[in-house]
Chains A and B, each alone.
Chain A
Amino acid sequence: AQSVTQLDSHVSVSEGTPVLLRCNYSSSYSPSLFWYVQHPNKGLQLLLKYTSAATLVKGINGFEAEFKKSETSFHLTKPSAHMSDAAEYFCVVSPPSSNTGKLIFGQGTTLQVKP
Chain B
Amino acid sequence: DAGVTQSPTHLIKTRGQQVTLRCSPKSGHDTVSWYQQALGQGPQFIFQYYEEEERQRGNFPDRFSGHQFPNYSSELNVNALLLGDSALYLCASSLDSGGTYGYTFGSGTRLTVV
Binding site for B on A (CB under 8 A): 36, 41-46, 49, 90, 94, 97-108
Residue pairs across A and B with Cβ atoms less than 8 A apart, 13 shown, are A44-B92, A46-B102, A46-B103, A94-B99, A99-B97, A100-B56, A101-B50, A102-B45, A102-B48, A102-B58, A103-B45, A105-B35, A106-B42
Interface contact A49-B105, CB-CB below 8 Å: no
Q: A100 and B102: CB pair below 8 A?
A: no
The interface residues of chain B lying within 8 Å CB-to-CB of A41 are 107
CB distance from A47 to the nearest CB of B (A): 11
> Which residues does chain A contribute within 8 Å of B48, judged by CB atoms?
100-102
Binding site for A on B (CB under 8 A): 3-4, 31, 33, 35, 40-45, 48, 50, 55-56, 58, 90, 92, 94, 96-99, 102-108
CA distance A106 to B40 in the complex (A): 11
B58 smallest CB distance to A (angstroms):
7
A53 and B109 alpha carbons, distance in the complex (Å): 35
Known pairs A49-B102, A97-B98, A101-B50; list 9 more (Cβ under 8 Å): A42-B107, A46-B103, A99-B98, A100-B55, A101-B48, A101-B98, A102-B56, A103-B45, A103-B92
Judge whether A44 and B43 touch: CB under 8 Å. Answer: yes
Secondary structure class of chain A's binding surface, majority of residues: loop
Query: How distant is A42 from chain B, measured CB to nearest CB, in Å?
Result: 6
Nearest Cβ in chain A — how far from B90, in angstroms?
Answer: 7
B42 touches A107 (CB 8 A): yes
Q: Are B98 and A105 in contact (CB under 8 A)?
A: no
B42 nearest CB neighbor, chain A only? A105
Asked whether, in the complex, the Cβ of B99 is within 8 Å of the Cβ of A103, the reply is: yes
A100 to B57, CA, bound (A): 9
Contact of A103 among B41, B103, B107 (CB under 8 A): B103
Q: A94 to chain B: which residues have CB within 8 Å? A: 99
Contact A43 B90 (CB under 8 A): yes
A90→B40 CA distance, assembly (Å): 12
